[in-house]
Amino acid sequence: MSRARTGLAAPPVPTVVLLLTAGAAAAGAALAGARPTGTPVVDPLYEALLAFVVVVAGARANRGAVLWLGVAAAALARGWLIAPAAASLLLAFTATLAKRPRPLLGAVTAALAVQVVLRWDVRAFQGATALAGAAALGPVLISALRRSPRHVRHRVWLGLGTLTVAAVVVVIPAAVSALAARHQVEDGIAQAQDALHQVSSGDAQTVRQELATAASDFAGGSARLGAWWTHGARLVPFAAQQRQALTVGVRVAEDVAVTADQQATRIDFSQIRYSSGGVDLTKVAGFAGPLSTVVDSLQRASSALAAVRSGWVVGPVSSRLAKLTSSVARAENSARLAEQAVTDAPSLLGAEGTRHYFVAFMDPPESRGLGGLLVWYGILTADHGHVSLTADGDPGTLAQQLAAIGGGHITGPADYLARYGRFHPERTVVDVPYAPDLPTDTTVMSQLYAELGHPPIDGMLVLDPKSIASILSLTGPVQVAGLGTVDGANAAQILEEGQYAAFPGAGQQQERKAALSAALEEAAQQLTHDALPNFRTLASDLAPDVKTGDLLFWSTHPPDQPLLEATGLAGRFPSRNGGDLLSVITQNSANNKVDAYLQRRVDYRVTYDPGRGRVSGTVTLQLHNSAPTSGLPPEVIGSRPSAGLRPGGDQLWFSVYSPLNLVGARVDSRPVTVTGTPELGVTAYSGFVDVAAGATVTVTVDLAGSISKGPYRLVLHDQPTVIPDQQTVTVTPSPGWHPKGSDTWTPAPQWSLAATFGFGR
């Protein structure tokens, strides 16, 4: 019995209808942007041809293969693609349930599904999108081929074979050229890396030689990879992306090396030196043009590398491309920062008018929010590149002068007054650095200093024993009566503890203070009058102190502030940017120097729901006091009478800064009352705790609240302390989620740093 008589024969699809359907699918596919070769003109043609063939195959393939294509399209569809994917799936089911084959339904199903498949973005592994596409389309194409007449199958296999041979023929020259260029490219990379190393060492002549050699090597490699006989590979899917990635990568490296080589003679930072109390601002300004040229070159390089990024590029090429992209990005950031520095530095050094900067020396053994008690001050005056110390002394004398004129009025910031106004820092001045934010403390100090009739403060430079030690390593030692030789190796120990051992008697404390002032004044004089290393060496040697907050600088002039922020000098309390934030601050309330012996351990354990952004966290602050009970003057291990402490005891005002809500607080498992006060965009939860000599006390603060959904982002701010903190962060996702990577972070002490924890289901 014939199929026509049983009702199973497939009704023929009119040729015009099939061609219109395939043509519409081809037009839509040409706009998919799948980039099978990365060649702008060829890719739309390939995509259109594939869609046309799939639609024709869909009209001939069996219903099971068409159903598989509809299911696959719907399974990986995202966003607006869900609509055509659902339509293709519905049509595929309709065709499957029909009593007889429906070729037109198969063709329309394929037309919709192929639009979805060509727009997939599967990132599970290298080439995942192409593999998934082949798995979805393959059964339809194979089924249609098997159901075709023998002569059609023969022609198809003949055509595929011919195309394969042609592809191999045009790819071979590109592969040979890539192998031939390999050694030149690797040599260029090695020369460029050597150049970067020499840049950090300040050897400008060697840098230029290395860059010139690297540029030559890259040029040779680029010529081989971009030769005319390699252009045929641009027509072959997969091979085209490898050629383009290699060609663009080497060309980018060549352009960057050539530009850097051309500008190296004009950008030699070793020429900028601080000598005889000044800097040649004309020479500084002369670097702006060459740096702008380098920035433009690196920006073009970043754009070119972004354009060849593709999931078709194989792992070895992709990884090298990623490293090059990362290197170019770092170089661009550094060049932009250098460009900004040479543009803004002249105004900081008084090019547009005399500047007066308040220099504050902090004493961390008696802690305050910004680091330590203010025990010495100076005024640095900058005038057209020349810097001098024009005043210095004991901040206590400023308090006495304010009291004598009935002054000492602080009008803001509002959160500073709300938190610290009850302690009356205007009466002591040494306590002004209560806020863990240099811009805030600068504002307060500016108000008080102006009341004494002094010129307005243009900014504040913060130093502590560790940064003084770094400066003395650059300038050389100073001789101080009673303290001996103070240099980079011993300055931190002398300024934090040794001064008290040198003057142990209760009646020697005025003499000790005079010796301390002499040491600091001499260090400041050397900084402003002696010749210093070139600015690259200076920045490199002082970078660790900037990172940990031991060296900070803030300008009251808004145009200067972006540069200070970018270099990390600004000392601004960090912003949480929609995520979580934690800062633990302890401030000495005993009026002694026992914080020199205080070891803090901060442990933050968080449970996080990525789907809702809900956070519950426990901050555990462990305080160990290793201070002696005798052998040091009362100023060190004694305390104010009302504190009720034995020798060596410490009384601390602790504060946990967080955007979350307080659940409860404990000291050694005993509930304790803490107060919450808004400050610096979050809430400071504060209380008092006593830590006897040799004792360990644990403060626990429980928090809960919400942040932005998605990955868990945490910003940490660390207080500069004599003994560096030990910190640990552990993030546990809520049930149903798992961490992508480590769930524990153990950061080194730093003024401000951030981390992101990713999660999946």
Same domain, 380 and 340: no
Strand, coil or helix: 76: coil
Tokens at residue 597, please? 């012996």
pLDDT in tens, 639-651: 999 999 999 999 9
Tokens at residue 219, please? 């040029």
Tokens at residue 34, please? 């799948």
* Count of CA atoms in the C-beta half-sphere (13 A) of 485: 6
Q: pLDDT higher for 63 or 459?
A: 459
pLDDT at 78 over 50: yes
Same domain, 119 and 202: no
Same domain, 626 and 537: no
- Using alpha carbons, select from 497, 468, 462, 473 the residue that is nearest to residue 483: 497
* Rounded Cα distance, 436 and 716, in Å: 13
Note whether residue 174 is domain-resident: no
Query: Using 50, 70 and 90 to split pLDDT, how confident is the model at 755?
Result: very high
Same domain, 364 and 501: yes
Same domain, 132 and 213: no
* Rounded Cα distance, 257 and 251, in Å: 10
Same domain, 601 and 705: yes
Which CATH number characterizes residue 675's domain? 2.60.40
Residue 662, strand partner residues = 703
pLDDT at 196 over 60: no
Cβ-based neighbour number of residue 481 at 10 Å = 10
Note whether residue 178 is domain-resident: no
pLDDT at 187 over 70: no
SS3 content of the chain, % helix, strand, coil (to 5): 50, 20, 30
pLDDT at 130 over 80: no
pLDDT in the model for residue 7: 47
Same domain, 563 and 620: no
Note whether residue 61 is domain-resident: yes
Distances, alpha carbon 756 to alpha carbons 5, 535, 657, in Å: 68, 34, 19
pLDDT at 5 over 50: no
Domain end marker among 348, 383, 406: 348
CB under 8 Å to 395, separation ≥6 — which residues? 374, 375, 376, 377, 429, 430, 432
- Output phi, psi for 456, to 5 deg: -55, 145
Q: Are 740 and 760 within 8 A, CB to CB?
A: yes
Q: pLDDT higher for 695 or 389?
A: 695
Average pLDDT, integer, range 661-690: 96
pLDDT at 700 over 90: yes
- Using alpha carbons, select from 349, 360, 279 the residue that is nearest to residue 551: 360
Same domain, 649 and 702: yes
What's this model's pTM, rounded to 2 decimal places?
A: 0.76
The number of domains in the chain is 4
Domain end marker among 302, 319, 348: 348
Domain end marker among 148, 172, 204: 148
Distances, alpha carbon 178 to alpha carbons 229, 320, 322, in Å: 12, 14, 18
* Rounded Cα distance, 481 and 485, in Å: 9
Average pLDDT, integer, range 514-527: 85
Residue 537, strand partner residues = none
pLDDT in the model for residue 474: 85
Same domain, 620 and 736: yes
Same domain, 321 and 369: no
Strand, coil or helix: 709: coil
Note whether residue 643 is domain-resident: yes
Same domain, 344 and 363: no
Structural domain of residue 22, as residue ranges?
Answer: 3-148
Tokens at residue 82, please? 């869900």
pLDDT in tens, 708-727: 999 999 999 999 999 999 99
Strand, coil or helix: 408: coil
Q: Are 740 and 717 within 8 A, CB to CB?
A: no
